């Protein structure tokens, strides 16, 4: 009996030793690092931007002279030219992106810009003698219509739709636009060398028109991730603030005779459009990518 127990113990010890040796012979696997998920564009962001802007507006300018009691009418000038206010812009933006799947991004963005755009023109023959002021020939009147056009500020509210690849986002954008447009006119009528008394007494009249305009905008852009929550973008926008018409007139006595009131009126019209190229820096509040736990 004692001998049998000894044999059983020896067999168990042998089996344990063989099992331990087999365990030592199993291959050792090293833990492989888990690659981080691709960056996400989802979340709120805010930033600043700066750039340049240029308008190219086809401008129509018309002058009309009238003495109702005689009657006498004339068109001292009727001209078409381009107003091209140019300048710098700078402002800020805020928005939200929502990444749809691995590649597509939808978002909303609003921005406000200060603009230094302006342009100066001289029309109404710009000092050349008009030979048909009374439709009677002669030297006429030496007149100038000086005009300045300005864009003071611009704001947009737009949707964005883009395609994300690696750390880049290529997008199209469009929506509503608002801006403050100013037109300032100075009509100068110096002394004439005509052999007849001047119809418009020497002097200067003028008018100033400032208005807030609403319109639309569309454009394209590209944005790239930098570090942390920062991104940089380059963007082009086309802006259309609609058709604008200005009118002003001045009444004076013809040849200085109080019973012969005359008037000269000026009408201008154009469509205000703008081309904007700007660069921007954004900060995404949630960070560029998801947080990965480390143990």
Strands 144-165 and 141-142: unpaired
Q: Which long-range contacts (CB under 8 A, 24 or more apart) does 135-142 make?
A: 135/73, 135/74, 138/194, 138/195, 138/196, 139/192, 139/193, 139/194, 139/195, 140/76, 140/192, 140/194, 141/76, 141/189, 141/192, 141/194, 141/198, 141/199, 141/200, 142/189, 142/190, 142/191, 142/192, 142/193
Q: What pLDDT score was predicted for residue 198?
A: 47
Task: Determine the Cα–Cα distance for residues 224 and 167; give it in Å rounded to an integer.
Answer: 6
Place of tokens 């086309």: 238
The answer to whether position 15 is within a domain reads no
Q: Which domain holds residue 143?
A: 58-284
pLDDT tens for the chain, 295 residues long, are 555 555 555 555 555 555 555 555 555 556 566 555 566 889 999 999 999 999 988 888 887 777 777 777 777 778 888 888 999 999 999 999 999 888 899 999 999 999 999 998 887 667 555 545 544 444 455 667 788 899 999 999 999 999 998 889 999 999 999 999 999 988 776 554 444 444 455 456 678 899 999 999 999 999 999 988 899 999 999 999 999 998 887 776 666 667 677 777 888 899 999 999 999 999 998 755 443 333 3
**What's the rounded Cα separation, in Å, for the pair 269 and 285?**
46
Give me 246's structure tokens: 């200005």
Query: Looking at the domain assignment, is residue 277 inside a domain?
Result: yes
- Residue 40 maps to a domain: no
The pLDDT value given to residue 66 = 76
Whether residue 10 lies inside any domain: the answer is no
The answer to whether residue 52 sits within a structural domain is no
Report the relative pairing of strands 230-253 and 261-284 from DSSP bridges. Answer: antiparallel
Query: Is 41 inside a domain boundary?
Result: no
Would 76 be classed as within a structural domain? yes
Quote the pTM value: 0.75
Structural domain includes residue 23 = no
End-to-end CA distance of the chain: 56
pLDDT at 25: 52
- In the chain, how many domains are there? 1
């Amino acid at each position: 009996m004692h001998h049998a127990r000894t044999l059983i113990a020896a067999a168990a010890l042998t089996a344990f030793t063989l099992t331990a040796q087999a365990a030592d012979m199993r291959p050792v696997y090293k833990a492989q690092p888990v690659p981080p998920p691709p960056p996400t564009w989802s979340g709120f962001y805010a930033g600043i931007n700066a750039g340049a802007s240029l308008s190219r507006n086809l401008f129509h300018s018309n002058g009309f002279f009238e003495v109702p009691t005689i009657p006498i009418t004339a068109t001292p000038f009727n001209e078409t030219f381009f107003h091209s206010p140019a300048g710098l812009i700078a402002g800020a933006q805020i928005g939200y992106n929502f990444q749809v799947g691995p590649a597509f991004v939808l978002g909303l963005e609003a921005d406000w810009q200060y603009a230094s755009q302006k342009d100066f023109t001289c029309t109404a023959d710009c000092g050349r003698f008009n030979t048909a002021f009374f439709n009677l020939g002669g030297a006429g009147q030496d007149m100038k219509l000086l005009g300045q056009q300005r864009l003071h500020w611009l704001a947009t509210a737009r949707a964005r739709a883009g395609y994300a690849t690696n750390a880049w986002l290529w997008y199209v954008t469009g929506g509503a636009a608002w801006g403050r447009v100013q037109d300032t006119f100075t009509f100068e009528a110096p002394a004439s060398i005509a052999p007849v008394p001047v119809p418009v007494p020497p002097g200067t009249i003028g008018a100033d028109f400032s208005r807030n305009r609403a319109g639309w905008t569309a454009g394209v852009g590209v944005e790239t991730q930098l570090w942390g929550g920062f991104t940089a973008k380059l963007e082009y926008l086309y802006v259309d603030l609609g058709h604008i018409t200005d009118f002003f007139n001045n009444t004076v006595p013809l040849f200085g005779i109080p019973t012969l009131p005359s008037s000269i009126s000026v009408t201008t019209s154009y469509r205000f459009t703008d081309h904007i190229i700007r660069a921007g820096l954004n900060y995404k509040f949630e960070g560029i990518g998801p947080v990965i736990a480390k143990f």
